[in-house]
Structure 1
């Protein structure tokens, strides 16, 4: 195992002292990528290791570096676990509610394609988006929700 692998493992397990030691001796590793194109900051963010992420950023890690697999930034990796559990950003929920209310089928389709489990989500008042779609009477938006009733399941 090489020094970069040691750094990644330290970041993954939250070993701040080891991360600091390796980065102080090998600052060039801040910009090195693993086989998925991810940086050490991606891995620290995914593990929820805030103090390590802060240290890496202060040392010059690229905060918006994109991985090669999905084009995801460290911020995207930071929320990945919650996304896997059905979590969304408030703006995503608000944007879907706005698109439904405005009758914008193009944006509703885009959001449902990007985040298929939104069909099970609710707006801030607790109303299911699928119910909002039905209430609009817009046949295209209603169809979009019916065609995504069980995505990926």
Structure 2
């Protein structure tokens, strides 16, 4: 009775966990709201794209392990001369296929969203005026334009 595919599936799932951990760390480090990497958004985009690659590799490892296990279950189930216990598909296989699909989709979305652009192609955030009709500034109050509101108008 050769059960080597079970050990290989386990090894692929452990590798998938490692890829997922690296992908999570790289994606969190590559987010624009994180302090890691400073204000270099090109570097942050590349780090986030590397996280997407790790998620893609994670999904591929999960898909291979789960599909390989399911193929062997199917082969043993329909073999009339198989002497061992015959298993059927269960919730674990469906959860594995779903998580692999989500990991592959998430990795592809991260890789497409974090394109490798040069700093000259970076689009600046659009200016959004404040809701009170005047501009908030870090300039001292003596240099700013006087507003229509007194000090008691602020909450």
| TM bracket (short chain) | under 0.3
TM-score, normalised via structure 1 length: 0.20
**Structure (1 or 2) with the larger CA radius of gyration:** 2
Q: TM-score, normalised by structure 2?
A: 0.20
**RCO greater where, 1 or 2, for CA within 8 Å and sep 6 or more?**
2
